[in-house]
Chains A and B, each alone.
Chain A
């Protein structure tokens, strides 16, 4: 296939004309999406807007009807080493017989190759990651003894040891305590400052402005995308969330959030 260079390899995530149909119903309609490297991007939208579907399609779990996806200029399958994924906490059985440290080391499996077992190097990296999320004390703990917030931090630590460039996180702040939320957000911001890209499915309109600097509002189509300041407007939110006005009024028209564009946290 030749032609002009259509896909900007400069983008961390470049999605073009993506349509995903799931069991006959289209979940995403011809969406175009660009996320530059080095930002902390939130994907928000009402329930059933296709947020998780988008993530799963990027990771190759779902196959699109049409359209293509590039991560740093190549199909995601060729970029597996540069992608880290944090699934929703509820995606796994936390009674599985394994330890915190072990789960974190799973992040190295992709780098380890088929037959090699994780060794001391992997363990050291895992410990370092646990230190970053503040869970070194629990390294040996069986995972069913963790609180929800701790589980989330373990997942984050696992993503950290992947040493990726693009991080996809599916609702990492859902149902976690305030301490965990703070820890996670700080960590994510550190990663961003180190030049990594974070793409976060987020549910809480209240905190979007405080944490993120890039915003994608999704509702089957992309309602708006861009730097947070120019995108986070009541108008855009209303377009995506439709009837659920009350929520938006509170979020976007609170005293410190006038209709005009807002400054990002940067």
Chain B
């Protein structure tokens, strides 16, 4: 009976392997320098890349990060340092609730909050939706990482006469920052893979644009549009875009895994 559980684990791995296999094998054909630097061409014309989409995704997670990271880290600090009270528990609960809200609902909120007043789809609205999505992940990891810092470090700082705020910033945060950075990274990766909220906030753009007040292209929306389309050429490009997206997310995680590991070695 217990050996059946091994079968269950194998069954779970099968789709993972299949997805990676197909993404890599189908995506690699169009993966070249041109893909990263050329603009999308009209259908039927060969070539064409996704330069604007790649830059668009980076801009969107940049805007999202500039909102999500400060809010997330500061709230995480509050929860771990000052938040052992009832309000802290309420905020913790709301963070869990926020993390379960579907991304498309967050997109609708960003639409009503940003697109409607601006009377305009924009990268800014998309960035805000992504930022909201990042917040719970960053709060949770920041709180966990700060909690891991031993109490003795804080007490040592306070015993030396350093005020609490300086202890928190210079001692506690300095110790925990690698873990917090991983949490930020996790949030950014999650945001990079989001499609639904962008459909009606950042919309999409066939042209090169870095203006955050205008609609902007993104890898995820392009994958969606190209996959749905009846054109074989576009379907191929969708696989390549998927490959680039997975590579982007993997690079982000790998980068910080390397950084964190080296710190432990010197310790």
**Binding between chains A and B:** no
| Residues on B facing A (Cβ under 8 Å) | none
